[in-house]
């Protein structure tokens, strides 16, 4: 297992494209994230192949269903040998506790983390679905619920990391996307932070996609980020 804090988002439509990027990366120097697009097209085989190559895999499928269904999906993900998986905190504590129970208690069980509110959710959408109050307060409340339900951490924006780190201590995993090295394009991300800023804010792991996957030589882009962090 690598001790890297960098999780490269493998946002590709085919297993071939994902595996070809993975071949250019070193499993000791980064972890990989498999999300809904790649998983829906290529299934568990691509995850198993990446695990066999020695990569720590974050399976980002954001489970949200009745407790029994989520628990069984989490057990299936654990059987694939992933390092981290996630559920939606909006599924509530019974769902999160069932997920936590399903992945067991052994020392090398996967991390189970919660999505609080999607960063794409704005105040209009928040009110439209009947939620009350402010988005930041709700993120803090859902992160508390995740912790109480036995989850290992949450996905959040690095902007929210300082308050969550202060409330939940060093062992609570804060996984932050929206990371952009100073010289890279923002793309569709808005409230971005550099890798150094995100670590200083309290992030445990940085999810980085296009700044690495879109680079001419991905391993060089990864090395530059490592150097900035050191």
Where on the chain is the footprint of ligand C5P (CB under 6 A)? 9, 11, 35, 118-119, 155, 177-178, 187, 189, 207-210
Which residues in 95-131 are b (16+ Cβ under 10 Å) and which e? bbbbbbebbeeeeeebbbbbbbbebebeeeebeeeee
Nearer to ligand C5P, 136 or 187 (CB): 187
Annotated catalytic residue, options 36, 52, 62, 147:
62
Nearer to ligand C5P, 80 or 215 (CB): 215
- Is 52 an active-site residue? no
> Half-sphere exposure of 49 toward its Cβ, with a 13 Å CA cutoff?
14
Least distance between ligand C5P and beta carbon 192 (Å): 8
Nearer to ligand C5P, 72 or 165 (CB): 165
Least distance between ligand C5P and beta carbon 221 (Å): 11
Least distance between ligand C5P and beta carbon 179 (Å): 6
Q: Which residue is nearest to ligand C5P (CB)?
A: 209
Least distance between ligand C5P and beta carbon 218 (Å): 12
Nearest to 56 by CA among 81, 25, 87, 86: 81
For residue 9, give the 3-state DSSP assignment. strand
Residue 165's Cβ-count burial label (10 Å; 0-12, 13-18, 19+) is: middle
| Cα 176 to Cα 190: distance, rounded to the nearest angstrom | 13
Give me the active site residues, please.
62
């Amino acid at each position: 297992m690598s001790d890297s804090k960098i999780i490269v988002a493998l946002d590709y439509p085919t297993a071939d494209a994902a595996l070809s990027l993975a071949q250019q990366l070193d499993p000791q120097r980064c972890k990989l994230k498999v999300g809904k697009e790649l998983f829906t097209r290529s299934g568990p085989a691509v995850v198993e192949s990446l695990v066999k190559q020695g990569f720590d895999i974050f399976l980002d499928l954001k489970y949200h269903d009745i407790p029994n269904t989520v628990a069984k999906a989490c057990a299936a993900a654990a059987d694939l040998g992933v390092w981290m998986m996630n559920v939606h905190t909006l599924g509530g504590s019974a769902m999160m506790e069932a997920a936590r129970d399903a992945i067991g208690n052994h020392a090398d069980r996967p991390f189970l983390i919660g999505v609080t509110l999607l960063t794409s959710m704005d105040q209009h959408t928040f009110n439209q679905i009947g939620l009350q109050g402010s988005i930041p307060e709700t993120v803090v409340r859902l992160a508390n619920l995740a912790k109480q339900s036995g989850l290992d951490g949450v996905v959040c924006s690095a902007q929210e990391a300082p308050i969550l780190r202060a409330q939940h201590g060093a062992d609570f995993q804060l996984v932050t996307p929206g990371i952009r090295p100073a010289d890279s394009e923002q793309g569709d991300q808005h409230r971005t932070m550099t890798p150094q800023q995100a670590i200083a804010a309290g992030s445990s792991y940085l999810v980085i996609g296009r700044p690495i996957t879109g680079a001419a030589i991905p391993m060089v882009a990864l090395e530059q980020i490592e150097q900035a962090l050191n």
